[in-house]
Amino acid sequence: MIDAQEKPAPIDDLLVFHKLARSLTSSFDLDTILRTILEHMERLIQAELWTLLMLDETSQELYYAIAAGGNEEALRELRVKVGEGVAGWVAEHGETLIVPDEGEDDRLSIAHRAVPRKIRSVIAMPLRGRTRVQGVIEILNPTQEQLSDYTIAFLHILADHAAIAIENARDVARIQELTITDDTTGLYNMRHLYEVLTRELQRCAQTGEPVSLAFLDLDRFKRVNDVHGHLIGSELLALAGQRIHTLSRPQDLCFRYGGDEFVILMPGTTAGEAFALVETLHRQLVETTFQIKNGPALTVSAKVGIATAPRDGDSIHAVIGTADSRMYEVKGEGRGRIRGG
């Protein structure tokens, strides 16, 4: 803990900087990085509450990614609009804001609606990335002694290191996401299916809990390409894939297997449950009209085969092969057929 009256020796400063930099660069896991930042904030400055808010770029709202000092659960539900309150102002302007003890600032009244305590003072600093503010470090009710130039300088160093670590972690996450995502549909790709199914089959072998897989092949999709062209075909694939994802349960995973084929992986789902789920999903999919941009309104249906581990096998080849075979078994029976075990 740095004391405003007793500055550490230069070698101590260097050791603190070294430890901070090493901690923040030792992981690309965002949650680990955020917890490391919070730990350093707690050691660095005495206060009642330490928080780190991250910016949701879609909604342009800040959310409390991590906090210490109490009311963490209440804060987790709170959102702060850019421009609103202390944190919102810092996110909007990209500048540090310090409100000293008993300072008068209207932003304090809306800064912490979920905190049942009097707000006397605040330190808020932006986490500035290469191109934009990524979040805000906010420290609530630090003591007057903690507001020295020396401590604030240390906090700025922490914020700069933190911003770099967060941006690096997000870059790595984006790269990883690209390697497991299908470009056309935005769903997971076949490579990721094999990775996830391997883990699910291992869990199935250990616990005996089933896992089901549905193999979907869109009906007469080649005709869409032949009649309307491949651009419209690709757009329909994307729309159909996203619709399948929307209609699936939150715990299920959706993949584009290749061409006009999709897979839905349903952990913890029996054969009977999987059939009922897929039957409902398929009915809703058939009832959906997809409006193509500057093009026609189209509908789709699919042939579906379902397999369940461990009853249909305990290997990737067995489960996917069984679902694929069942899908082909109904191919000659007409459109929109579903077959399970």
Q: What is the pLDDT of residues 211-237, one digit of tens each?
A: 999 999 999 899 999 999 999 999 999
Q: Are residues 127 and 233 in the same domain?
A: no
Q: In what order do the strands lie in the sheet with 49-56?
A: 79-81, 61-68, 49-56, 133-140, 122-128, 97-99
pLDDT by residue (tens digit) across 163-202?
A: 888 888 777 777 776 678 898 999 999 989 999 999 999 9
Q: Is the peptide bond before 8 cis (omega within 30 degrees of 0)?
A: no
Rg (alpha carbons) of the chain, rounded to whole number: 27
Of 216, 215, 281, 278, the closest CA to residue 243 belongs to: 281
Last residue of one domain, picked from the residues 131, 154, 179:
179
Residue 327's pLDDT band (boundaries 50, 70, 90)?
very high
Q: Compute the distance between CA of residue 226 and CA of residue 184 in angstroms, rounded to an integer.
A: 19
Q: Are residues 28 and 158 in the same domain?
A: yes
Could you tell me if residue 212 is inside a domain?
A: yes
Residue 246's pLDDT band (boundaries 50, 70, 90)?
very high
* Per-residue pLDDT at 41: 77
Of 69, 17, 100, the closest CA to residue 2 belongs to: 17
Q: Are residues 235 and 329 in the same domain?
A: yes
- Quote the domain boundaries for residue 252: 190-339
What's the structural domain count of the chain?
2
Q: Are residues 141 and 113 in the same domain?
A: yes
Higher per-residue confidence, 76 vs 230: 230
Residue 23's pLDDT band (boundaries 50, 70, 90)?
low
Tokens of 60: 């342009």
Q: What is this structure's pTM?
A: 0.58
Q: What does the pLDDT average to over 69-96?
A: 84
Q: Are residues 20 and 161 in the same domain?
A: yes
Give the CATH number of the domain where residue 78 resides. 3.30.450.40
Cβ-count burial 17-53 (b if 16+ within 10 Å, e if not): eeebeebbeeebebeebbbbbbebbeebbbbbbbbbb
* Per-residue pLDDT at 9: 47
* Per-residue pLDDT at 49: 84
Give the CATH number of the domain where residue 267 resides. 3.30.70.270
Residue 107's pLDDT band (boundaries 50, 70, 90)?
low
Last residue of one domain, picked from the residues 179, 203, 219:
179
* Per-residue pLDDT at 4: 46
Q: Are residues 225 and 133 in the same domain?
A: no
Q: Are residues 161 and 207 in the same domain?
A: no
Contact 1, 44 (CB under 8 A): yes
Q: What does the pLDDT average to over 75-103?
A: 85
Q: Compute the distance between CA of residue 122 and CA of residue 106 in angstroms, rounded to an integer.
A: 12
**pLDDT tops 80 at residue 116:** no
Could you tell me if residue 292 is inside a domain?
A: yes
Tokens of 222: 């080649």
Average pLDDT value for the chain: 84
Residue 325's pLDDT band (boundaries 50, 70, 90)?
very high
**pLDDT tops 60 at residue 148:** yes
Lowest mean pLDDT among 41-45, 73-77, 108-112, 279-283: 108-112
Could you tell me if residue 305 is inside a domain?
A: yes
Q: Are residues 320 and 215 in the same domain?
A: yes
Q: What does the pLDDT average to over 303-313?
A: 95
Q: What does the pLDDT average to over 244-255?
A: 96
Q: Are residues 110 and 233 in the same domain?
A: no
Last residue of one domain, picked from the residues 179, 198, 233:
179
Contact 244, 264 (CB under 8 A): yes
Q: What does the pLDDT average to over 264-285?
A: 96
Q: Are residues 205 and 162 in the same domain?
A: no
Length of the chain: 341
